Amino acid sequence: MGGLHIDGRAVLAVAELPLAGQKAGLRPVGCGLAHFGLHVVGNVRHLEQGDLALAAQQRGYHLVQLPVLGVGVVAVQRANTLVLGQFYAHRQHLHRLGPYAGHEHGLRKAHRLQAAQGHGLHRRAVVEGVQPVDQAARGNHQFAVLHVVRQHEAFAVGAMHGAVLARLLRASRQVQAQAQPGIAHHGHGAQGDQHAAVQPRLVGNIDIPRIERVEKQGHGQHQAQQGDEGGQQEGHAASLPRRLGAAARAGRWAHNGSMTTPSSLYAQRRARLAAQLGAGGIAIVPTAPLQQRNRDSEFLYRHDSYFYYLTGFAEPGAWLVLTAEGHSTLFCQPKDLEREIWDGYRLGPEAALATLGVDAAHSVADIDARLPRLLENRGSVWFPFATHPGLAARVEGWLNQVRARVRYGALCPAQQGDLCTLLDEMRLIKDAHEQDLMRRAAAISARAHVRAMQRSARMLRAGQDVREYHLDAELLHAFREEGSQCPAYGSIVAAGANACVLHYRADAAPVRAGELVLIDAGCELDGYASDITRTFPADGRFTGPQRALYDLVLESQKAAIAATRAGNRFNDSHDATVAVLAQGLLDLGLLDANKVGSVQDVIASRAYFQFYMHRTGHWLGMDVHDCGSYVEPSEVGQVSERRDPLSGELIQNRPSRILRPGMVLTIEPGLYVRPAPGVPEAFHHIGIRIEDDAIVTETGCELITRGVPVEGDEIEALMRG
pLDDT in tens, 303-327: 999 999 999 999 999 999 999 999 9
Question: Once rounded to an integer, what is the mean pLDDT over residues 400-407?
Answer: 96
The pLDDT of residue 12 is: 30
With cut-offs at 50, 70 and 90, classify the pLDDT of residue 57.
Answer: low
Per residue in 6-22, pLDDT tens?
Answer: 233 222 333 333 333 33
- Cβ distance 286 to 395 under 8 Å? no
Per residue in 157-171, pLDDT tens?
Answer: 333 333 433 444 454
Per residue in 380-396, pLDDT tens?
Answer: 999 999 999 999 999 99
Q: Give me the helix-helix angle, 240-250 and 348-355, nearest 10°.
A: 30
H or E element that contains 400: helix 391-403
The pLDDT of residue 721 is: 82
- Provide the mean pLDDT of the chain: 74
- Using a cut of 0.75, tell me whether the model's pTM lies above it: no
Q: b/e for 458-497, b at 16 or more Cβ within 10 A?
A: ebbeeeeebbbebbbbbbbebbbbbbbbebbbebbbbbbb
With cut-offs at 50, 70 and 90, classify the pLDDT of residue 625.
Answer: very high
The pLDDT of residue 652 is: 84
Question: Once rounded to an integer, what is the mean pLDDT over residues 536-551?
Answer: 98
Mapping DSSP to helix (H, G, I), strand (E, B) and coil, where does residue 136 land? strand
Lowest mean pLDDT among 77-81, 93-97, 471-475, 647-651: 93-97
The pLDDT of residue 334 is: 97
- Cβ distance 362 to 352 under 8 Å? no
Per residue in 510-528, pLDDT tens?
Answer: 999 999 999 999 999 999 9
The pLDDT of residue 140 is: 33
For β-strands 415-418 and 380-383, DSSP reports them as parallel
CA–CA separation, 536 and 588 (whole Å): 20
The pLDDT of residue 260 is: 60
Question: Once rounded to an integer, what is the mean pLDDT over residues 38-64?
Answer: 42
Question: Once rounded to an integer, what is the mean pLDDT over residues 441-465?
Answer: 98
The pLDDT of residue 643 is: 85
Q: Which domains are delineated in the chain?
A: 2-241 (no CATH), 260-426 (3.40.350.10), 432-567+617-623+660-720 (3.90.230.10)
CA–CA separation, 385 and 589 (whole Å): 48
CA–CA separation, 197 and 186 (whole Å): 13
User: 427 or 121, which is more confident?
Assistant: 427
Per residue in 325-347, pLDDT tens?
Answer: 999 999 999 999 999 999 999 99
Question: Once rounded to an integer, what is the mean pLDDT over residues 217-245?
Answer: 36
- The percentage of residues in the chain with a pLDDT greater than 70, rounded to a whole number, is 64
Residues with active-site annotation: 296, 503, 520, 531, 614, 618, 625, 668, 672, 689, 691
Per DSSP, which regions of 526-648 are E strands? 528-529, 532-537, 640-643
